[in-house]
Amino acid sequence: MVTPRAAGFSPQETPQSMDRAGGKSDGMKIGVLALQGDFEAHRKRLEELGAEVVLVKNSEQLDRVDGLVIPGGESSTFLQLLGERGLERLKRFSRQQPIFGTCAGAILLANEIENPKQAGLGALDIRIRRNAYGRQIDSSIRQGKFGAAPMEMVFIRAPKIDWLGPKVEVLATEGSDPVVVREGNVMAATFHPELSADKRVHQAFLSLVEEFGENHDASAE
């Protein structure tokens, strides 16, 4: 079994750990947690949209990004690779800066996780059920809506959001199910937007990061 240290996600922090990176003048930097999952697809998509991307493999790198993407994979494996202290570091990040989770990343962000129950970041007021669409063999491409516009969505062993808190905004749906949601600086998608040609979900996250940065800068004046 790979330990958190072997995976490279160090829980150590610098004195600047609690500072936001957005005050720098070198443009928007987006981190992609690069412990497992298709983080390269997220990197490519974000770079296509003009962001500078940092593949995050240790906690010190969180100090240098304006927002973070947690890709798909296996949520329980993420917990093993992060370790307890790494998970606590991500919890602090999620309270301070924009964060976006897809599939397993969405599971980690949820306040309540079922099938089975497990720990997470508790950053998003939703209840989410793992593997709600079946096994990997049951993966599918479905047509949903992003706002009112059609969107192709790739579901792979996808979770389903069973309950939404009162402050959670639904950005996209598949049938009657919410599949992209946002609460404050936290955003989640239950499918894999990085695997389709549509860039709107990632663009929405970059807009969130930009909005957060503007509000942070205004409050600091």
Q: Which are the catalytic amino acids?
A: 103, 192, 194
**φ, ψ for residue 211, nearest 5 deg:** -60, -45
Q: Is beta strand 177-183 parallel, antiparallel or unpaired with respect to 186-189?
A: antiparallel
The tally of CA atoms less than 13 A away on the side-chain side of residue 163 is 9
CA 203 – CA 183 distance, rounded (Å):
16
Query: How many Å separate Cα 73 from the centre of its chain?
Result: 12
- Cβ atoms of 95 and 133 closer than 8 Å: no
Amino acid at position 129, single letter:
R
Which CA distances in Å does 31 have to 47, 97, 107, 153?
Answer: 11, 11, 18, 23
Integer angstrom CA distances of residue 215 from 97, 98, 126, 198, 221: 12, 12, 25, 28, 10
